[in-house]
Amino acid sequence: MPAARAEGAGKSGPTLEQVAARAGVGRGTASRVINGSPRVSERTRAAVQAAVAELGYVPNRAARALAAGSMDAIALVVPEQENRLFAEPYFSEILRGVSTELGDTDMQLLLTLIRDQRGRERFAQYAAAHRVDGVLLVSIHGDDPLPDLLRDAGMPAVLSGRRSHAEQLPYVDSDNLLGAQIAVEHLLGRGRRKVATITGPLDMYVARCRLEGYHEALRAAGRTRTPPDGRLVAEGDFTEEGGRRGMLELLRRDPEVDAVFCASDVMAAGARLALRETGRRVPDDVALVGFDDSAVARHMDPPLTTVRQPIEEMGRAMVRMLLDLMARAQDDPQGQHRAEGREMTDDDQPRLVLPTELIRRRSS
């Protein structure tokens, strides 16, 4: 069929000009059809569409980007500190959600790893140079300047998780505090007396929220600070080894710990190792609860009770939110409506917090 596409191998496909010629219309009209403008007669539209089909025309993205000033692409930015994130189920799920939601658009997904400060600045520049139309930020620490760099550059961006309680940028998060709280309440409800916790890195808001939920549950149970000064709190780093060390530390401080809420399943797996090393049974001696409901939770022995967060859905929601922001930016190139006397308030920024849920298994 596309007998066209003559012999020359490497040449890129037909151009708009050729399509227009074939359809017997002007370049402008052809462009209008391709882009679905309404101001085209039915006859013409059909003719152009036929030409497109015959020639197997595919718009040249670079040309379009150059002329229109938009790249039809968004970036998923991943700070690669500690090489950690990729292995995490969290990331795969986000990725799945993002690409699924993007599948319906003809937007492209760019994956960008940010390694260090230099990379961060470089990316901010890239973004400013309009190499992408929007940015998704995953696993951002509280002190990361990148989001603000992007905002200043006028680049639409959505965070997965907040950096602080007062996050200024659009974000999608899950209800970490409540999730942790129900997890700990569950442990208390099962009659556990010394409920400890292994937290994430406390420079991450998500880790602080889960710790807060832990405290909240204890407080609600009238069990505030027993024993005092957080002896039952160990700071981990969301890694397996961190969970293991945290557990050993907790046991060292108080050998009678009988339950642990871990701020991630992976850390719970680490804690499980430590428990095994020290000859403790789960859940008989120590009950364990994780967070995420990732695959590892199901595979542990015994299977891990955990707090499920709808990660894939979060990925999808982030994309929807970003596309929305991009559309806004389109209509209102520089957020100029704030020039209309109306300050861009925080409330203009979309945000979404999805619910978490306790999944009970045999570890508690």
Tell whether residue 39 is a contact of DNA (CB under 7 A): yes
Tell whether residue 53 is a contact of DNA (CB under 7 A): no
Q: Are 156 and 329 in contact (CB under 8 A)?
A: yes
**Which residues, numbered 13-32, are part of the site for DNA (CB under 7 A)?**
15-17, 20, 24-29, 31-32
Q: Which is nearer to a second copy, 184 or 266 (CB)?
A: 266
In the complex, minimum distance from the CB of residue 253 to a second copy, in angstroms, rounded to a whole number: 26
**Which residues, numbered 138-177, are part of the site for a second copy (CB under 8 A)?**
154
Give the separation between CA 72 and CA 145, rounded to whole angstroms: 25
- Residue among 53, 63, 295, 327 that touches DNA (CB under 7 A): 63
In the complex, minimum distance from the CB of residue 332 to a second copy, in angstroms, rounded to a whole number: 10
Per-residue tokens: 87: 């292995």
Residue 247: closest CA among 280, 283, 291, 215: 280
In the complex, minimum distance from the CB of residue 64 to DNA, in angstroms, rounded to a whole number: 4
Give the separation between CA 46 and CA 34, rounded to whole angstroms: 11
Give the separation between CA 39 and CA 29, rounded to whole angstroms: 9
Q: Which is nearer to a second copy, 125 or 224 (CB)?
A: 125
Query: What's the maximum distance between 2 C-alpha atoms anywhere in the chain?
Result: 85
In the complex, minimum distance from the CB of residue 159 to a second copy, in angstroms, rounded to a whole number: 19
Tell whether residue 350 is a contact of a second copy (CB under 8 A): no
Give the separation between CA 104 and CA 91, rounded to whole angstroms: 21
- The DSSP H or E segment spanning 207 is helix 205-220
In the complex, minimum distance from the CB of residue 133 to DNA, in angstroms, rounded to a whole number: 13
In the complex, minimum distance from the CB of residue 35 to a second copy, in angstroms, rounded to a whole number: 16
Q: Which does 306 bind (CB under 5 to 8 A by kind): a second copy, DNA, none?
A: none
Q: Are 62 and 12 in contact (CB under 8 A)?
A: no
Tell whether residue 50 is a contact of DNA (CB under 7 A): no
- The DSSP H or E segment spanning 55 is helix 42-55
- The DSSP H or E segment spanning 354 is strand 351-354
Give the separation between CA 325 and CA 349, rounded to whole angstroms: 9
E strands along 201-304, which residues? 233-235, 259-262, 287-292
Residues contributing to the site for a second copy (CB under 8 A): 8-10, 12-13, 56, 58-63, 65-66, 69, 71, 73, 76, 80, 83, 86-89, 91-93, 95-96, 99-100, 102-103, 108-113, 115, 119, 125-126, 128-131, 154, 240, 269, 272, 295-296, 298-301, 329, 333-336
Footprint of DNA (CB under 7 A): 2, 4-5, 12, 15-17, 20, 24-29, 31-32, 34-35, 38-41, 43-44, 57, 59-60, 63-64, 66-68
